[in-house]
Structure 1
Amino acid sequence: MKKRQNQGVKAYYTDHFVLPLPTGHRFPMEKYRLLRDLVACHPEIELIEPAAATDEDLLRAHDAAYIEAITQGKLTDAQIREIGFPWSEAMVERSRRSAGATIAACLAAIKEGVSVNLAGGTHHAYADKGSGFCVFNDAAVAARYVQAMSPTRVAVIDLDVHQGNGTAAILGRDSSCFTLSLHGEKNFPFRKEDSHLDIGLPDGCGDKDYLKILQQALIELERRFTPELIIYLAGADPHEGDRLGRLKLTMQGMEQRDRLVLGLAKELLCPIAIAMAGGYGRDIKTTVDVHHQTIQLALQYHQQIQPKVSQ
């Protein structure tokens, strides 16, 4: 592993780019600000505002006509409904910043071992359309950005409760990438795409079964692919308190989930960039606590790997 700087974990935030939503909208936009407030209590974490993804960045994963429609507010009513957000200039800016945050997290992880986007995980966005509260696909954009710098084998480990259909459609047939999605089989999206490895879980799946299946999936990933960068979508929505998730993982189960993924990165000496992805807890504090736990584990991981990454 290349020599890296011995610094704290870099965490990229975009919550101050506010996306105006109608009263009663079900997307928990406030969770990002609440999460940053908790993260700010850790002096070992450096909070950074990311640059916005440029058209050049986005074009590596998205169609030019779609980027133009988003940027200029030329979406049809049907396209707006599928995204689930009303169009505004603020929506465009926030979406570009979120993609830029995952790009920045990947670059920081390559230098320092691990980094975090406090938002991101917009895995329902396709090359030519948005969907499910996702405008631009930050993981695909970031993977393509890194690969444009240098040939890099990128694994996207998607543990949001919903299948990463947009990521699969963009990267799922690319041999330089490996897309793994572990998701609720009967949950949104109801039309799944083909990832390199898809595992659908039954409603009510709890800690024991989930962790056993995940461990096997990571073994299979390692058997079939040798990543040089991992992008980890650490969704909070498999948690038992999520109103849309339909799985039954406890806080302890979510912790073990994250430890398994970080353990793979450690075993492979592979940089890992983490995006928060989904979370729709009945109590927003629970969702924020799940995300915060992931970031605390990333911080512990960073401290553990420093002797290795500085060699």
Structure 2
Amino acid sequence: MIKYRMIREGAAAAVAGLDFHEAMPASDGELALAHHPGYIARAAAGELSAAEQREIGFPWTPQMIERSRRSSGATIAACRAAFSEGVAVNLAGGTHHAYADRGAGFCVFNDSAIAARLMQAERRASRVAIVDLDVHQGNGTASILARDDSVFTLSLHGENNYPFEKERSDLDVALPDGVGDEAYLAALQDALATLQARFAPQLLIFLAGADPHEGDRLGKMKLSMQGLAARDQAVFSFARLHKIPVAVTMAGGYGRDIEQTVAVHIQTIRLASLHAAGWNNN
């Protein structure tokens, strides 16, 4: 959890002119765009079973639920801001393992699915793409949106990594252990071309996980800092080419050296700020 404070402090020091806003908590009605009301009520009231808490990965506390609401609220805010700024960043978020009726993998509520559907309800975008570049498949997101043709789910992930039983995204690219920069970036470019050809999104929600980094304890991939910069640039260049707003979330990162994980996230924020400058100059 300390990485989030470090990201906030590091981003403020590394990128001049950032505009920070406190995230507002997502309401029950907003959460219900992606989650069953019964699950929301039990989570809010502290009625999750011991087994449900184990699947999430940490015990229930009022602070845990408040943070989970605000993490979703921050992705909502980033999506709204992206339409005027070109890009906006949630300094947390990317909780893609949460299902409609349960949490999992350190994820309580699925911020991307919630925000995508709210942007549609607010008539900001009718076609939303979730570009999930965390090293783990976005199984909860894929499940929630499986029968929703208005949201495209794209996931590049480790073939042999968690979750070991995958869901079906609209486009899954399963990569082998040890994949490096060149092969990863080629797969990403192919995936983005397919996304545009099949869907032509009006908003991107980009899960910029730090866990494909070669120093990650859980990632099993071998992307360098330069490779991850090229990954982020590929997404931002795609968005600029097609004039698509981008909301970025941090998603996972479990480096042996926490400062390295934070550096990956700050690199993403710095590149996002450069993209915003280019967007606003067009």
Report the TM range for the smaller structure's normalisation: over 0.9
3-state SS of the aligned residue for 2:19? strand
Alignment of 1:24-39 (within 5 A): 29-39=1-11
Alignment of 1:1-311 (within 5 A): 29-41=1-13, 42-150=15-123, 152-308=126-282
* Structure 1, unpaired ranges of 5+: 1-28
Distance across 1 between alignment mates of 2:251 and 2:243: 24
Please tell me the residue identity of whatever aligns with 2:111: D
The size of the alignment, in residue pairs, is 280
Query: Is the CA contact 2:136–2:161 (under 8 Å) kept in the aligned structure 1?
Result: yes
Q: What do the CA deviations read for 1:109-167 (whole angstroms, capped 9, x no partner)?
A: 01221000000000000000000000000000101111111152100000000000000
Deviation at 1:173, TM superposition (A): 2.6
Query: Is the CA contact 1:105–1:274 (under 8 Å) kept in the aligned structure 2?
Result: yes
- Residue matched to 1:15: none
Distance across 1 between alignment mates of 2:146 and 2:246: 19
Deviation at 1:228, TM superposition (A): 0.6
Q: Compare 145-154 and 260-269 and name the one that shifted more.
A: 145-154
Distance across 2 between alignment mates of 1:67 and 1:126: 11
Distance across 2 between alignment mates of 1:240 and 1:144: 34
Distance across 2 between alignment mates of 1:301 and 1:307: 10
Q: What do the CA deviations read for 1:178-198 (whole angstroms, capped 9, x no partner)?
A: 100000000000010010000
Q: What do the CA deviations read for 1:2-41 (whole angstroms, capped 9, x no partner)?
A: xxxxxxxxxxxxxxxxxxxxxxxxxxx0000001001112
3-state SS of the aligned residue for 1:45? coil
Query: Is the CA contact 1:172–1:178 (under 8 Å) kept in the aligned structure 2?
Result: no
- Residue matched to 1:20: none
3-state SS of the aligned residue for 1:141? helix
Distance across 2 between alignment mates of 1:211 and 1:173: 29
Q: What do the CA deviations read for 1:196-249 (whole angstroms, capped 9, x no partner)?
A: 000100000000100011111111111101111000000000000000000000
Query: Is the CA contact 1:155–1:230 (under 8 Å) kept in the aligned structure 2?
Result: yes
Distance across 2 between alignment mates of 1:198 and 1:280: 23
3-state SS of the aligned residue for 2:41? helix
Distance across 1 between alignment mates of 2:146 and 2:127: 13
TM-score, normalised via structure 2 length:
0.98
Please tell me the residue identity of whatever aligns with 1:193: E
Distance across 2 between alignment mates of 1:132 and 1:43: 34
Query: Is the CA contact 2:85–2:279 (under 8 Å) kept in the aligned structure 1?
Result: no
Please tell me the residue identity of whatever aligns with 1:226: A
Query: Is the CA contact 1:173–1:196 (under 8 Å) kept in the aligned structure 2?
Result: no
TM-score, normalised via structure 1 length:
0.89
Distance across 2 between alignment mates of 1:57 and 1:145: 7
Q: Percent identity?
A: 59
